[in-house]
Amino acid sequence: MIKLKKIKCKNCNKIIYKSLGRINENFKLGNNFYCSRKCESQYKNKKKILTCENCGKQFKRRPSEISKHNYCSRSCAATTNNAKLPKRKAAFKICLQCQKKYKKENLKYCSLSCRRRAEGKTKEELLELIKKSAEKLRRTPAKRELKSISNLCCKNFGTWNNAILEANLTPNRSHDDRMYKRIKTKALDGHLCDSVSELIIDNWLTENKIYHQKNISYPETQHKADWGINLKGKTIFVEYFGLAKDSPRYDLSILKKKALCQKHKIKLISVYPRDLYPKINLRNKLKIFLN
Task: Compute the Cα dihedral for 120, 126, 128, 132 and give only its sign.
Answer: positive
Tell me whether residue 179 is in a domain.
Answer: no
Say what the pTM is. Answer: 0.46
What's the pLDDT at 142?
Answer: 82
Q: What is the pLDDT of residues 222-242, one digit of tens each?
A: 889 999 999 888 999 999 998
- Across the chain, what does the average pLDDT equal? 84
Both 233 and 137 in one domain: the answer is: no
Do the beta carbons of residue 219 and residue 206 sit within 8 Å?
no
Do the beta carbons of residue 116 and residue 98 sit within 8 Å?
no
Structural domains of the chain, count: 4
Residue 161's CB: how many other CB atoms inside 10 A?
Answer: 22
- The DSSP string of 52-84 is -TTT--EEEE-GGG--SS--SSHHHHHHHHHHH
- The pairing of beta strand 93-94 with beta strand 15-19: unpaired
Q: What is the pLDDT of residues 62-90, one digit of tens each?
A: 777 888 889 999 899 988 888 887 766 66
Both 140 and 201 in one domain: the answer is: no
Closest CA to 193 of 206, 184, 201: 184
Both 247 and 201 in one domain: the answer is: yes
Tell me whether residue 32 is in a domain.
Answer: yes
Both 14 and 56 in one domain: the answer is: yes
Residue 10's CB: how many other CB atoms inside 10 A?
Answer: 17
Tell me whether residue 177 is in a domain.
Answer: no
Tell me whether residue 178 is in a domain.
Answer: no
Residue 290's CB: how many other CB atoms inside 10 A?
Answer: 10
Task: Compute the Cα dihedral for 60, 64, 69, 72 and give only its sign.
Answer: negative
Residue 246: pLDDT band with limits 50, 70, 90: confident
Lowest mean pLDDT among 92-96, 161-165, 207-211, 283-287: 92-96
Both 10 and 102 in one domain: the answer is: no
Tell me whether residue 262 is in a domain.
Answer: yes
Q: Reduce the DSSP state of residue 70 to 3 states and report it.
A: coil
- The pairing of beta strand 213-217 with beta strand 192-193: unpaired
Residue 180: pLDDT band with limits 50, 70, 90: very low
Q: What is the pLDDT of residues 103-155, one digit of tens each?
A: 776 777 788 777 767 667 788 888 888 998 888 888 888 887 787 788 888 88
Provide the residue range defining the domain that includes 154. 121-166
